[in-house]
Amino acid sequence: MDKPLFPDNEDVRLAALRALNILDTQSEESLDRVTRLAKYLFDVPIALISLIDEDRQWFKSCIGLDVKETPRDISFCGHAILDDDPLVIGDACNDPRFADNPLVLNVPNIRFYAGYPIKLSNGLCIGTLCIIDIKPREFSFDDTQALKDLALITQREISIMQLATRDELTNIPNRRGFILMAERYLDLCIRQQLRAIVIFIDLDSFKPINDKYGHAEGDRVLNLFASIISSSCRKSDLFGRFGGDEFVLLLAQVTLSECQLLISRIEDSACKLNESLADIATFSFSFGVAEFDPKQPSELEELLQIADADMYKNKAAKKAR
């Protein structure tokens, strides 16, 4: 049995998959409709939308199987994401890559497999739409085109879901996306007894930029600042744009002094940003923090309110100076 290789861009691919925040979530009718249609069109017992996580394939939509995931190292879909073209196995028993695969020798006794890669708008492949049969079969050119059409519908639906949790301007999580991830993050902090800090950031004097130089320049500033936050944070940190000129960060396993170091890095980068803003008033921001204690956990909304209030206090003090 050949174990599937890892794509060259595996780290980026996994980050993009997890940023969707759809792993281990409830089924979506729009995606279940695709697998139902695939089962009907191709007259197969199994149709799946399979997302390839680090060490498993997890089924966002599943018809014909009683499990929600299987190991990645025995998955057919792990092979399918390595190519732009569909992977079609007419008879797995005659294919040396899969003949002794546990999924062939045991339930679900795969003989036929066809999987079409599912890609995000940035070209990263996160999984497949696949159909499976327990008997060998042929797969024509027209069949391949029909499977591709269903895969493109799947990609569109996932893109819609992605837009619902990402800010279209800066391509970082929006308010909804941040809250969805942050609530899970705080649950993890409680289980692991990790302290965390929420940082609420508001840009100073942003409205005059829009008023004097137009919204295009304002959008450019927001994009650049989002990039600064992204490059300044650790891979484990969460951040998002709450709307307008407000940004929020959630950091785990950090002290207040370490938090201040991060703020200093962002401030240093923001100072460099000023060099590219010809004739625009000095770009700066105000921030507030709220600490999360896993022994006496606060709700995310309460933490946001505390950090927001602290930010306004600091902004007022800055104006007074």
Q: What is the pLDDT at residue 296?
A: 94
Q: What is the pLDDT at residue 222?
A: 92
| pLDDT tens string 55-103 | 999 999 999 999 999 999 999 999 999 999 999 999 999 999 999 999 9
CA distance 177 to 162: 9
Q: pTM of the full predicted structure?
A: 0.62
Which domains are seen in the chain, by residue range? Answer: 10-165 (3.30.450.40), 175-320 (3.30.70.270)
| pLDDT tens string 185-221 | 898 889 888 899 999 999 987 888 877 878 888 898 8
Q: Are the CB atoms for 187 and 175 separated by under 8 Å?
A: no
- How many Å from the N-terminal Cα to the C-terminal Cα in the chain? 70
For the chain, which residues score pLDDT lower than 70?
A: 276-282
Q: What is the pLDDT at residue 277?
A: 64
Q: What is the pLDDT at residue 103?
A: 97
CA 267 to chain centre: 27
Burial class (CB in 10 A: 0-12, 13-18, 19+), 8: exposed
